[in-house]
Amino acid sequence: MLVAKLTKNNTVFGSKKISFYADARLRIRNALVYPNPVKNRTNFTYMLSQEAFVTTKIFSLSGTIVKTLGPYKQTAGFNNIQWDSDDDFNRLLANGSYLFEIKAANGNGVTTKNGAFVILR
């Protein structure tokens, strides 16, 4: 809590208590794939509320994991993971729709964000 003094012409005429709330939960915000549709290389961008280890998984529409990126230690704030649109065997993925999951974990918990993108070469 902070107490602020209210002044006018250098004369204190009151005070106001100000409280701050800090959310200690780990969060992922603004998870995007850019560019989308993907031609060759793309970026998974997102904001982290705290430092965390981040793993990104790419799935076919049938739910099969085709690529795992990470885990990477990422800082709080804006982060970017670049991907060359290949699978875990370094083969380029075919044109089509895919799903992704960005998972962040640290001592305060685990959180995920999901989305979709298209590969169109």
- Residue 65 amino acid letter: I
Asked if residue 10 belongs to a domain, the reply is no
Asked if residue 92 belongs to a domain, the reply is yes
Residues 6+ apart with CB under 8 A from 88: 65, 66, 67, 68
pLDDT at residue 31, rounded to an integer? 97
Residues forming a β-bridge with 81? 44
Give the pLDDT of the chain (121 residues) as one tens digit per residue.
677 777 777 777 677 777 766 668 999 999 999 999 999 999 999 999 999 999 999 999 999 999 999 999 999 999 999 999 999 999 999 999 999 999 999 999 999 999 999 999 9
The tally of domains found in the chain comes to 1
Asked if residue 5 belongs to a domain, the reply is no
Asked if residue 19 belongs to a domain, the reply is no
**CA dist., res. 69 & res. 73, Å (int):** 12
Asked if residue 58 belongs to a domain, the reply is yes
Would you say 68 and 44 are in contact if contact means Cβ atoms under 8 Å apart?
Answer: no
pLDDT at residue 21, rounded to an integer? 66
Tell me the pTM. 0.80
pLDDT at residue 48, rounded to an integer? 98
Asked if residue 12 belongs to a domain, the reply is no
